Structure 1
Amino acid sequence: MARKTTTFIATDGRDKGKRFLITEMSAYHSEEWAARALFAVMHSGVDVPDEVLSAGFAGVAAIGIKALTKVPFELVKPLFDEMMSCVQFEFAAGQQGGARALIEGDNGDIEEVATRLKLRKAILELHMESFIAADPSRQASGSASQSTA
């Protein structure tokens, strides 16, 4: 079965109308990412309950990205960089090429910090979808349309 994907369309600023294809990490990679994020948070003195530790990406969501703000930048930067490896620039319907690797940096595809933050939220939501579906008391929000490829 193919990994889940979602298309995120920026709604404001210089990125308005830009499309980004987000593809789910493999189970191996997402488990490793979540474990490193949780260990970085714990290493920085944040108390992480046992049930959060066993929940992978959902656990990271439970403690929130805000918990990562307590982690030294040099520990969290690789995690944030890896999140963006899920993102590709998607061409508008009718243009050739479909999607390509995201161009980062000063002359990159993303021109607004807000877009990067919203993309990170969409990445987490995509990875947490199965956990949210299993628990109807939790709801996802955002401006991403989801599909499976």
Structure 2
Amino acid sequence: MARKTSTFVATSGRDKGKRFLITEMPAHRSEEWAGRALFAVMQSGVEVPDEVLGAGFAGIAAIGIKAMTKVPFDLAKPLFDEMMTCVQFEFAGGQAGGARALFEDDIEEVATRLQLRKAVLDLHLESFIDAVPSTQASGSASQADA
């Protein structure tokens, strides 16, 4: 089965109308990324409940992306950079038109980069949230938005 993909279309600023293809990380890389993110958050003094530790990307959602704001930039930057490896510039016509790795000038607005990072997380969290019992999934999702 192929990895999941989604398309993000920027809606404002200099990036308005640009299309980006987001592709899910392989399971091993996804698990490793989530583990590094959780450990960075814990090293920064955020208390992480035991049940969150083994939850991968779902754990990140459970503690909230805001917890990442407590992580020193030198620990967070590699995580943010790796998220952007999931993003490709998509040519007109969508996936049929093709996509390529990002060039630095493809994204001209900081807001677009932030929205793309959220879209990367959303794509990865989708399968975790679907797999979690409904009482946890709704709690995780609401905490991620907090």
> Normalization by structure 2: what TM-score?
0.87
Seen in structure 2, the aligned counterparts of structure 1 residues 93 and 45 have a Cα distance that, compared at 3 Å, is same
Question: Comparing 63-72 with 80-89, which one deviates more in the overlay?
Answer: 63-72
Matches within 5 A, 1:1-149: 1-93=1-93, 98-104=98-104, 108-134=105-131, 135-136=133-134, 138=138
2: distance between equivalents of 1:59 and 1:99? 31
Residue type of the alignment partner of 2:129: I
Residue type of the alignment partner of 2:6: T
Greater RCO, CA 8 A, separation 6+:
1
Q: Percent identity?
A: 79
Residue type of the alignment partner of 2:40: A
1: distance between equivalents of 2:54 and 2:67? 17
* Structure 1 alignment gaps of length 5 or more: 141-149
**Cα root mean square deviation, aligned:** 1.9
The number of aligned residues is 137
Bigger helix fraction: 2
1: distance between equivalents of 2:13 and 2:62? 29
Seen in structure 2, the aligned counterparts of structure 1 residues 7 and 48 have a Cα distance that, compared at 3 Å, is same
